Amino acid sequence: MVIAVELDPRMVLELQRRFQGTPLSNRLKVIQGDVLKTDLPYFDICVANIPYQISSPLTFKLLNHQPSFRCAIIMFQREFAMRLVAQPGDTLYCRLSVNTQLYARVFHLLKVGKNNFRPPPKVDSSVVRVEPRKPRPQVNPKEWDGFIRICFIRKNKTLGSIFRMKNVLSLLEKNYKTLRALQPSQIGSSAGTDTEMDMSGLADYKEDQSSMDLDDGTDDEMEVEDGDDTEVSEFKEKVLAVLKEKNFYEKRSSKLSQEEFLYLLSRFNMAGIHFS
C-alpha cells in the first residue's frame, strides 16, 4: 500500500485519474491536506520531494512518529541537507545537526543541481537518507533542547564564556531554585527522561535557515558577567565546576560530539542544574 499526502486538490485529482481503473488503484491511498497537520498512519518507508519551507518541522514530525519507520529518503535544499549531516568541526555544524543526529542516523546520498529542474530554481538540492535510532535515546527532549540552545548561542565561543553570561546564569539559577523548592518526588518527575514527550519543539525553521550560528570563528567580546572574583556566587561556581570536569570549560560547541553533549548534560543534571 502506498499512502500519498498532497495539499493541492488538483494534484490529488490528477493522481487519482492516472491510477483509476488500473490493477494498482486499490494499492494507492491519497490523503488531501497539509502534511504538518495530518495524523500520519503507520508507514515503513517515506519518500518525499517537499516544499523546502517545511523542511525542519517535517523532519521532526517524522522523527516523532510512532511506531518508528525504517527510513526516509527526502530531497531538501542543499544547505539544509548539509546541516543535517554535518559533523563536529564542520562549518555548518549547528543545533539542527545535533538535534537531528540525536534521534536518527543521517546520510547524504546525492546532490541535485538546479539545472535538473525546469524552470531551474535558485538553489541546489540534495537527497538525504534518515534512519531513526532504535531504541530512542533516553533523554528528555525539552531538557535537551534547552541545553543545546544555550550551547549554540555562539557555537565558536568557549562553553566557559557562554555559561558565564549573565542571562544564562540567571535562567539556570531560576530553574535551580524552582526545582529545589519542589518535593523530592516532583523533582524526580520533572527532571526525568520522558522519551514520550513531543519532539516537534526541536524544529525551529527560522533559526535553522538563518546564519545566526555561522560564527566567524573570532573570540570577540560578549555580555559576560564576570564580577569581582572575591564575590563569585555559589551557583556560578557550581556551574563552572561542572564545565571544568573533563575540561569542557575551554571546549566549543562547534567541535563537541553527540556523546560529549549527552555526558555534559548528565553532569549538569546530577549537579541539580536543569534547562527546562
Q: Which residues in 147-166 are b (16+ Cβ under 10 Å) and which e?
A: bbebbbbbbbbbbbbbbbbe
- Answer yes or no: is pLDDT of 264 > 90: yes
**Is the CATH number of domain 141-270 3.40.50.2020?**
no
Q: Which residues in 104-140 are b (16+ Cβ under 10 Å) and which e?
A: bebebeeebeeeeeeeeeeebbbbbebebeeebeebb
- Answer yes or no: is pLDDT of 159 > 60: yes
- Answer yes or no: is pLDDT of 219 > 80: no
Residues annotated in the binding site, as ranges? Answer: 1, 6, 34, 49
Residue 177's SS3 state is helix
pLDDT for the residue numbered 167: 93
Of the listed ranges 93-97, 157-161, 187-191, the least confidently predicted one is 187-191
Which of 81, 186, 194 is CA-nearest to residue 145?
194
Residues annotated in the binding site for S-adenosyl-L-methionine, as ranges? Answer: 1, 6, 34, 49
- Answer yes or no: is pLDDT of 76 > 90: yes
Residue 80: Cβ-neighbour burial (10 angstroms; 0-12, 13-18, 19+): buried
Question: In the CATH hierarchy, which top-level class contains the domain 2-132?
Answer: alpha beta
Question: pTM of the full predicted structure?
Answer: 0.83
Domain ranges for the chain, please list them. 2-132, 141-270
Distance separating alpha carbons of residues 149 and 152, to the nearest angstrom? 5
pLDDT for the residue numbered 275: 95
Stretch 97-112: mean pLDDT: 97
Distance separating alpha carbons of residues 264 and 259, to the nearest angstrom? 9
pLDDT for the residue numbered 217: 40
pLDDT for the residue numbered 276: 87
pLDDT for the residue numbered 31: 95
- Answer yes or no: is pLDDT of 97 > 60: yes
pLDDT for the residue numbered 181: 85
